[in-house]
Structure 1
Amino acid sequence: MKSTAPSRRRSAAASLAGVAALVLAGCGSGNDSGGAADGSVSLGFVNGSNTHFHTCLLRAVEQEAEAQDAKVYSANSKQDAGTELSNIEDMIARNVDALIVQTVNVDALEGDIAKAKSAGIPIYLTSVATSDMADVLGAAVVDLKKVGAMDAGWIAEDAGGRNVTVGVVAGAPGAASDLLVGGFEDALPKTARVVANQPGMFNPAKAQDVAENMIQSHPDLDYAFVANEEMAFAVRKAFDAAGAKDVKIVSVNGTEEGVAAVKDGRLSATVANSAATIGQTAVKSTVSLLDKGEQNGGDQGVDKISDIPLVLVTKENLSEAPQYCPK
């Protein structure tokens, strides 16, 4: 049976901003992972996929939960909104104190939030925020439109006013990919024309197929925007094999491998949005916001929305790239 402290936290968090609170995420995979076995707070973490970003995000959540003396249960929705909802229901059944969620589709959030709210479990979002945050405990937000815009800005500067063609290898439709690509395309100069836009589904093999078709249809391509570095490496291989070594690729993540690829020229630029920082911020903020509600003000220094720092990494500022993945 649970101690009364987490229950008080839940009740207090539910009253935060006059809301009963909610949850999103779950246990569909059945994989438990944890901090302290007898932690004073139990957290559920639902991940959205199995990419390097998601793996590092999970590691950061687990490590920070241990540091916060919290127990964490994890699950993976594998890019499927239906699985995400099932995970939420499973996590509700675990009676966790709060959920941290990396959603697979922002359009699915409304139903997910309603399900969690009815159970009285607060939810903390990673990477994205909803337009109305009243029913959400908090969020560690990556401004994904800004991420895309930063890559577009690099292309604008590099092109120097020339008329250029651009290919886009998106991720999976929904959530992160749509925001990234939308921000990128909106920020491109009028002299840059997008001639192809296809989803790589955050899968390197799929992205390589997309790139092979793209360069065959557009052999004079100048630039490519790829929605994560894992796909970008595969796109680079496809372009090189087709004799298109001059196509400049910009991407997203700022992994150790991505920064190395910028250094050696395989990538021209990447926007670093550290998975380690996102995970650490999510756990710290969730625990603090629960305490804030319980203590009727608790930790006054914690923000409901935390903006994750972004860095455009080029050959000129490699040393400024933040640590991406916890050790």
Structure 2
Amino acid sequence: MRTYKKIIAAALASAALAGPALADDVNKIGLAVPNLQADFFNQIKLGVENYGKEKGIEVIVVDAKNDTATQVSQVQDLMTQGIEAFIYIPAGAAAAAVPTRLARAEGIPVINVDRTPEGAPGDTFIAGESVESAYQVCKHIIDLAGGEGKMAMIHGQKGTTPEVDRTKGCMRAIEENPNVELVTEQWSQMWSPDEGFSIAQNMLQAHPDLKLIFGQADGLAMGAAKAVDVAGLSDQVIIGGYDGDVAALEYLAKCEGPFVATATQSTQMMGRLAVDSAIKVAAGESVPERQTPNAVLTTCENAPQFVENHP
């Protein structure tokens, strides 16, 4: 079995053999995503593909299924397919810098979305403002709980940009409320409903008096809501999520159940912005170092508008 070190060495060696391939016009874009099981990444993919089609740009999508080694290999392959820009969402923290360096070696513009690799940034980073919006979600559910009670946090994939930022934002809300006690927290790998369900079940067994749960993605929050329902604690526990996934928005629009708030990200707009940025960078134009579409605090009152028209 190949190790990360061997994969990285081989990848960088092959990149070093390639010559520069700057493009004035973008006709083909590579899009590398962590996994297409998550609605969040699918929405970004839709934004990139639909806008690319409008612009007459071919989009090649690769799905790492949350495996960094797979993603490195996929990006190596993308570099052989004549892409003129690279939109990149790292699959994890390990080896995340390698795809950026592969593209840089060929003079290909790199647009990071949602996550940025430490030590190897792209030409621009497009991501929702996770710190402030996570703070708003956690503040909202804490206020609903009367500013007191035991709380749990179900993290996303450890060390990724959104996990770090959403932790920071939620912790700010917790620290503002001395009667709220964070009694348990656990990290996930896939940000998925199944993980949210199993993690929340374990948390509820250890702390049956939990009053608050923050799931750092809607999948985690939806799984936690199911666990709370199964435990018969829907009237006790208040849950917040993050992202504005379609299924979560439909759940919130019903105005029932323990999952009561999320932060809706402009995911399809992020995809379109990534394509526009790729075109500008390839043409030698400057783009901002960071571009930050707002995420909107979403409850049952405003969820229907996002169900009807997801940003």
**Match status 1:172 vs 2:184:** no
For 1:170-319, list aligned pairs within 5 A.
170-175=155-160, 176-188=162-174, 189=176, 190-201=178-189, 202-245=191-234, 246-263=236-253, 264-266=255-257, 267-291=259-283, 293=284, 297=285, 303-318=288-303
Contact 1:9–1:290 (CA under 8 A) maintained in structure 2 = no
TM normalised by structure 2 equals: 0.81
AA matched with 2:206: S
Contact 2:155–2:163 (CA under 8 A) maintained in structure 1 = yes
Q: CA RMSD in A?
A: 2.7
Structure 2 equivalent of residue 150 of structure 1: 136
Q: Distance in 1 between matches of 2:202 and 2:152?
A: 11
Q: Distance in 1 between matches of 2:128 and 2:105?
A: 27
How many correspondences in the alignment? Answer: 285
Q: Distance in 2 between matches of 1:207 and 1:324?
A: 27
Contact 2:49–2:59 (CA under 8 A) maintained in structure 1 = yes
Q: Give deviations 1:89-118, integer Å, cap 9, x for gaps.
A: 111122311100111224533333223222
Call closer, same or farther: CA 1:324–1:145 in 2, change over 3 Å.
farther
Call closer, same or farther: CA 1:217–1:272 in 2, change over 3 Å.
same
AA matched with 2:273: T
- Secondary structure (helix, strand or coil) at the match of 2:249 reads helix
- Structure 2 residues not aligned, in runs of 5+: 1-18
Share of identical aligned residues, percent?
A: 21
Contact 1:226–1:252 (CA under 8 A) maintained in structure 2 = yes
Structure 2 equivalent of residue 29 of structure 1: none
TM normalised by structure 1 equals: 0.78
**Higher mean displacement: 167-176 or 73-82:** 167-176
Contact 1:128–1:142 (CA under 8 A) maintained in structure 2 = no
AA matched with 2:276: K
Q: Shift of the alpha carbon at 1:261? A: 2.1
- Structure 1 residues not aligned, in runs of 5+: 1-6, 13-38
Call closer, same or farther: CA 1:93–1:65 in 2, change over 3 Å.
same
Q: Give deviations 1:159-199, integer Å, cap 9, x for gaps.
A: 4443x111112222231333323332243233321111123
Contact 1:41–1:97 (CA under 8 A) maintained in structure 2 = yes
Contact 2:246–2:307 (CA under 8 A) maintained in structure 1 = no
Contact 2:26–2:282 (CA under 8 A) maintained in structure 1 = no
